[in-house]
């Protein structure tokens, strides 16, 4: 019995009302592939009135290659029961009345009606979503090309900038070595200054190159014992700590977290180095700790140093921004805290400062590697206490 006859009467009115209020296109076909029902949403999607579709083979709504293979697939399913589409949603192409093709999501299920096997197709036009996804892919590809070009430019520029700097530095040293006895003391100081400035400029170029790559390279996350990181930093800084009269204090054991170990080690090393460097107290204390809060572990590095005025609490994270006059022996490039902020952000965290001039500073930060990085990292990265 055709579906049209099976649903006549009061029950048919309810059936049609339900079918035609569904937002998705609904198409019902029989075993021969002929359309038995075509709801209002399907009319809107395909551009056909139901009268032009009902009774005709459903492959009229399909472009190649789906058009040619549909009947054969349906016969094979009825004969063997092998499912390739039935009960499985997938993305295919549809063909409108004007001949244009569009992407759609298709779900097909089987039903029995008065002993007849029928198939219900659910259609959703995803043209807008597909266009948006295409645009996103285009932007991602363009961004990847731009990043690669930036990497190439940064590498070439750094090489081309460093070459003349090294030449200037070498020539200044040659002048000192070969003609030092003929150059006045003031001239020797100027040559020494020139050598220092060349070396400083070379470090700035290196730092700029590193910063350009820091935000784009994937995080290599793994379980990391922060206590081991601090122990390594303390060992490397042993002489510096002794000469400065400084010590690192860990009030309680730090947790093991999922993070990029080398970058997080660099984060702590920069904060600890600054805590020692910008400290005018005879006994310098650097406290490294963490606290459990609603957002997870909050880590901190606290010192009893010179402190930072509130108006500079954001300025300190700007690249090449230095707030203090330093002698040439200890002068940095002003990128340490910029690196720290970028590393924290790459781990999906945030960083902030609590400081008072003359009473020290505390740098607070969170690390949540699951919020940033590659898809694989997001699947497995989380903080464990």
Distance between CA atoms of 338 and 267, rounded to whole angstroms?
10
pLDDT band at 246 (very low <50, low <70, confident <90, very high): very high
pLDDT band at 126 (very low <50, low <70, confident <90, very high): very high
Domain with 169, as residue range(s), is 127-217
Distance between CA atoms of 374 and 352, rounded to whole angstroms?
26
**53 and 162 co-located in one domain:** no
**226 and 343 co-located in one domain:** yes
Residues 6+ apart with CB under 8 A from 334: 319, 320, 321, 322
Q: What is the mean pLDDT of residues 278-295?
A: 88
**131 and 257 co-located in one domain:** no
- pLDDT at position 11 over 60: no
**204 and 185 co-located in one domain:** yes
**251 and 194 co-located in one domain:** no
Strand 90-95 versus strand 25-29 pairing type: unpaired
CATH code, 75:
3.30.450.20
Q: Higher confidence at residue 17 or residue 192?
A: 192
- pLDDT at position 135 over 80: yes
Say what the pLDDT of residue 299 is: 94
What are 299's strand-pairing partners?
290, 365
**309 and 341 co-located in one domain:** yes
**252 and 133 co-located in one domain:** no
- CB 351: neighbour CB atoms within 10 A? 20
Boundary of a domain, candidates 217, 251, 283: 217
Q: Average pLDDT of the chain? A: 80
- pLDDT at position 304 over 80: yes
Judged by average pLDDT, the poorest of 150-164, 219-233, 279-293 is 150-164
**315 and 339 co-located in one domain:** yes
Say what the pLDDT of residue 331 is: 47
Domain count across the chain: 3
Element (H or E) spanning 107, and its range? Answer: strand 101-113
**166 and 227 co-located in one domain:** no
b (16+ CB within 10 A) / e for 115-137 = eeebbbbbbbbeeeeeeeeeeee
CATH code, 185:
1.10.287
- pLDDT at position 52 over 90: yes
Rounded to a whole number of angstroms, the distance between the first and last alpha carbons of the chain is 67
Q: What is the pLDDT of residues 186-199, one digit of tens each?
A: 888 888 888 878 87
Q: What is the mean pLDDT of residues 349-369?
A: 89
Boundary of a domain, candidates 109, 125, 141: 125
Say what the pLDDT of residue 383 is: 29
CA-nearest of 108, 67, 61 to 89 is 108
Q: Higher confidence at residue 368 or residue 39?
A: 39
Strand 256-260 versus strand 221-225 pairing type: antiparallel
**145 and 249 co-located in one domain:** no
Query: Could you give the percent of the chain with pLDDT greater than 70?
Result: 76
Distance between CA atoms of 231 and 228, rounded to whole angstroms?
5
**94 and 203 co-located in one domain:** no
- pLDDT at position 50 over 50: yes
- pLDDT at position 265 over 70: yes
Distance between CA atoms of 189 and 175, rounded to whole angstroms?
12
Say what the pLDDT of residue 8 is: 56
Q: What is the mean pLDDT of residues 211-227?
A: 77
Q: What is the mean pLDDT of residues 168-178?
A: 84
Say what the pLDDT of residue 321 is: 54
Say what the pLDDT of residue 89 is: 74
CA-nearest of 140, 60, 61, 54 to 93 is 61
Boundary of a domain, candidates 160, 190, 217: 217
Say what the pLDDT of residue 328 is: 45
- pLDDT at position 211 over 90: no
Residues 6+ apart with CB under 8 A from 204: 320, 333
Q: Higher confidence at residue 96 or residue 65?
A: 96
Q: What is the mean pLDDT of residues 340-356?
A: 89
**335 and 235 co-located in one domain:** yes
Token pair of 9 as six digits: 């009467």
Q: Where are the alpha helices (DSSP H) in 215-255?
A: 226-236, 238-244
- pLDDT at position 10 over 60: no
């Amino acid at each position: 019995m055709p579906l049209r006859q099976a649903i006549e009467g009061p029950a048919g009115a309810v059936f049609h009302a339900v079918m035609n209020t569904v937002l998705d296109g609904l198409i019902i076909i029989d075993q021969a592939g002929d359309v038995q029902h075509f709801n209002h949403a399907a009319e809107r999607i395909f551009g056909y009135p139901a009268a032009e579709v009902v009774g005709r083979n459903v492959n009229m709504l399909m472009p190649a290659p789906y058009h040619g293979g549909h009947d054969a697939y349906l016969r094979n399913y009825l004969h063997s029961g092998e499912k390739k589409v039935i009960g499985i949603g997938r993305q295919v192409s549809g063909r409108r009345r004007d001949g244009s093709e569009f992407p759609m999501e298709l779900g097909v299920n089987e039903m029995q009606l008065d002993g007849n096997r029928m198939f219900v197709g659910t259609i959703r036009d995803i043209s807008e979503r597909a266009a948006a996804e295409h645009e996103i892919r285009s932007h991602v590809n363009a961004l990847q090309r731009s990043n690669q070009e930036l990497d190439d430019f940064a590498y070439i520029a750094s090489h081309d900038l460093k070459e003349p700097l090294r030449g200037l530095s070498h020539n200044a040293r040659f002048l000192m070595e070969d003609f030092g006895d003929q150059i006045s003391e003031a001239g020797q100081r100027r040559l020494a200054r020139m050598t220092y400035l060349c070396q400083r400029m070379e470090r700035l170029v290196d730092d700029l190159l590193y910063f350009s790559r820091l935000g784009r390279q994937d995080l290599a996350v793994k379980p990391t014992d922060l206590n081991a990181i601090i122990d390594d930093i303390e060992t490397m800084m042993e002489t510096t700590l002794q000469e400065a009269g400084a010590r690192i204090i860990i009030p309680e054991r730090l947790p093991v977290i999922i993070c990029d170990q080398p970058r997080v080690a660099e984060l702590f090393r920069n904060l600890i180095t600054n805590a020692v460097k910008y400290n005018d107290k005879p006994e310098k204390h650097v406290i490294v700790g963490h606290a459990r809060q609603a957002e997870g572990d909050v880590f901190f590095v606290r010192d009893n140093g010179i402190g930072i005025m509130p108006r500079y609490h954001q300025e300190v994270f700007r690249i090449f921004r230095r707030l203090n006059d330093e002698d040439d022996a200890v002068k940095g490039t002003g990128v340490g805290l910029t690196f720290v902020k970028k590393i924290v952000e790459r781990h999906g965290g945030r960083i902030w400062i609590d400081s008072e001039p003359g009473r020290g500073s505390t740098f607070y930060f969170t690390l949540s590697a699951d919020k940033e990085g590659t898809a694989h990292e997001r699947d497995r990265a989380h903080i464990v206490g």
